[in-house]
Structure 1
């Protein structure tokens, strides 16, 4: 599915004062909290000390789960194990942190989580959904310790299609905390164990099934803030590793499986996305023509996107534009038959968020629904606190998602402006990645070094979409989060 990536990890002690003030101002503008109230921390500490979580749980501690995340991650929601089935297919065991065990509905931690909705990310630190004593410790699937989890078991056939799905409360113990780079390096070197080999195998099969459905995953380069040994920092573009895509497919698989349980049980909360507006698709076709990408009339956009390489400037510009096809995402809570408009267009299937409960509020609710349905209890077994949230939760998540997106984009704007402070009048090489439909002399440019983006205007000619250009920096402001270039052709 399409996404824009944000991976920023910059210790606060390295951030210049003007940047630190800009982040503080941004948090104030968007009402991003600085910490947790004392009563929330007290309740979280008490929950972390509970030791009754092993009661009435399936013991899966002998199953060698591993986690795969960015380096330095502590809020580990997911742990995976894969194996082959006797019928020539696969078994995916996917453990998800059991946040419902530690967060009391209506309690102080829950009340604060309702206000946040998600974890917010910025270069100078994260604003977590739950207190770190829970999200980075007692509820996190850290290696070498027993943890409560919602354990999914998804059986697949030889093509990667779902045959059977169950989810149970379980006790698990992760064997290792791996990074995407470690996984990719092991696979490339031929030293990976069977679980990682199967991650690649199953991930590739699920990517193929995604294409068959008409779904799409867009490889948009990740904007990464790097801290150097001398205390300076830079922004670089990093292509997404294949291992990240395969790992993401396991999460998508689980979300599709969850939606299937919900449809059968006639109760659930789906993540939805309407189909692309035909006018936007036609606009994208004009973009392809403008930058020299061959897009035959009979080829669906999902099929075309799978052939592009984000390391090529023209392809990167097109992929950046393609993300605009997917607007209007929302949440649909239902009881009874599934209403119309239930599909997620980018995934080309019904889908539910269930795999990130430490970082996203709705996943705690959807996990409880799936646990109840998988146990055979039906809709009547879903806890009342879950059903009571159906009216307000979709609106809460939509607001939180919009706020998080605004916060992340503005955070990058601040760092980009900081990197270019003092460079007004200098010229940079870059690629025009967007052109205003009403005024083709206005657009967006991504420069090569540092890898930042800003608005660009041309005084005499239309901007050349997708082409490498030389632009002059004319204005930069950390406080206003603004970067402007000019292009003379």
Structure 2
């Protein structure tokens, strides 16, 4: 089902998202030059490829994976944003106010002007670009044995998307630069489970529009984002790099970590009780990560259990340090220390974290402009993360309520994801319209049920169902 006439401008206005860049910041982006051009290593002989959603232009990462006699070598090129943003300049000041790129269904609110993020700094195919190039050596089980990062010139030879990579992997025709990606990705996924990492397989809603010739007639719908194995394989490259960066920072005593405390025992007990109630076997000695990783994502019971699992991952934060290590250095969801370093075009913190790692590899002091900024970054990033989550939710809620407006009284098939409020209400997933909403009544977790749409408010962006129908 699709609907016309959704104005996401109301979300932009409600959350006071930034508009155009200042003239000075725009000019800096349009005239940016590589500040470190003379000192770069030429690695344009490595045939990098990028893997991103179709149509993406802000390409942060390019990858090449080689299988060797002893394991693997991963080359991961990251857009060198620090080379084209002058510390203390107008663009630097403005990006600190934004924190990250905000994505809305009708277009993004970028961290950097598009002349830079989708142009001169983006790792677009068939052009030479400055990059922070990671080289990570791994053993036969895809466990890292050594890593470094240095400034280089790189060249992507192909722009791929997830569905294309999955199709080629299934057909045995993957691009030679990532022929080892499936094997590497599966080994890294197994390593994650062994580390105690927790992966949530919740359905991710996405607001999608058709592409009419006349933009004024665009129609919108909600769909669940298809997640392929290729998504997971590619994510493992980024996670590996962030884990190496986190380890470097801890060893050097300076950096910016992404942290998450271990799950509270009460949350684990609740999850176990829910699993038992849903008929999911939880053998003694099996970790949360092992249980979740072994579930069939297509089963209603999985959706119900996964909707409870986010309680395990509360308290995510950023920890900046220069000298004394923070009390918490691990990201419990990943099962290791971790730092954001792979998306500097879209996330502010990565520009600074990458500079720390470059200095550590080179054996040189971390630049003063980085040291000065580190204490400010946790608040900036936490605030922008919170805002991004609210914007995402508001766009989905607006689309859900608009899609269902005028359909009060209709009955829908649903899966009960989570009982709430002492089971006086629940959260249900209505697959035919890809809506997740509150349902008044007392259905059981994981139950397939018929529910009646009883309330829609497009101003408050709310939808409510009732059980039984």
TM-score range, shorter chain: over 0.9
- What's the offset of the Cα at 1:294? 1.7
Stretch moving more, 342-351 or 259-268: 259-268
From 60, 84, 93, the equivalent of 2:67 is 84
- Residue 433 of structure 2 corresponds to 450
Q: Is the 8 A contact 2:193 2:290 kept in 1?
A: yes
Select which of 96, 100, 111 maps to 2:78.
96
1:42 CA displacement: 1.7
Shift of 1:290: 2.4
Question: Separation in 2 of the partners of 1:103 and 1:334?
Answer: 23
Tell me the residue number matched to 1:286.
273
Seen in structure 2, the aligned counterparts of structure 1 residues 51 and 353 have a Cα distance that, compared at 3 Å, is closer
Residue equivalent to 1:39: 24
SS in 2 for 1:449: helix
1:466 equivalent among 423, 429, 446: 446
**Mapped contact 1:81–1:93 kept (Cα < 8 A):** yes
Matched-pair contact (CA < 8 Å) for 1:220–1:240: no
Verify the 8 A CA contact 2:428 2:438 in the aligned structure 1. yes
Q: Name the CA distance, whole Å, in 1 between partners of 2:402 and 2:285.
A: 46
Q: List per-residue Cα deviations over 1:116-155 (Å, max 9, x = no partner).
A: 1011111111111111111111110000001010000000
Q: Which residue of 1 aligns with 2:424?
A: 441
Cα 1:159/1:343, change in 2 over 3 Å: same
Corresponding position of 2:388: 404
- Match for 1:374 among 338, 345, 361? 361
Deviation track 1:448-486 (CA, whole Å, cap 9, x = no partner) reads 11111111101xxx2211111111111112221101111
State the partner residue of 1:8. Answer: none
Quote the Cα distance in structure 2 between the aligned partners of 1:402 and 1:344.
18
Q: Match of 1:487? A: 467
Q: CA deviation at 1:260?
A: 1.4
- 1:282 is displaced (CA, Å) by 1.1
TM-score when normalising by structure 2: 0.95
Unpaired segments ≥5 residues, structure 1:
1-13
Conservation of the 8 A alpha-carbon contact between 1:167 and 1:374 = yes
| Deviation (angstroms), 1:57 | 0.3
1:232 aligns with 2:219: yes
Helix, strand or coil at the partner of 1:43: helix
**What does residue 138 of structure 1 align with?**
120
Equivalent of residue 354 in structure 1, options 341, 351, 355: 341
Q: How many residues of Structure 1 are paired with residues of Structure 2 in the alignment? A: 463
Deviation at 1:204, TM superposition (A): 1.1
> How many Å separate the matches in 2 of 1:61 and 1:386?
28
C-alpha distance in 2, partners of 1:192/1:348? Answer: 30
Contact in 1 for aligned 2:101/2:108 (Cα 8 Å): yes
Gaps of 5+ in 2: 213-217
Alpha-carbon distance in structure 2 between the residues aligned to 1:276 and 1:393: 25
CA contact (8 A) 2:65 2:179 kept: no
CA RMSD in angstroms comes to 1.6
Deviates more, 1:319-328 or 1:230-239: 230-239
Query: How far does the alpha carbon of each residue in 1:210-262 deviate from its partner, in whole angstroms, 9 at most, with x for none?
Result: 11111122233332334346753322224410011010000000001111111
Q: Which residue of 1 aligns with 2:215?
A: none
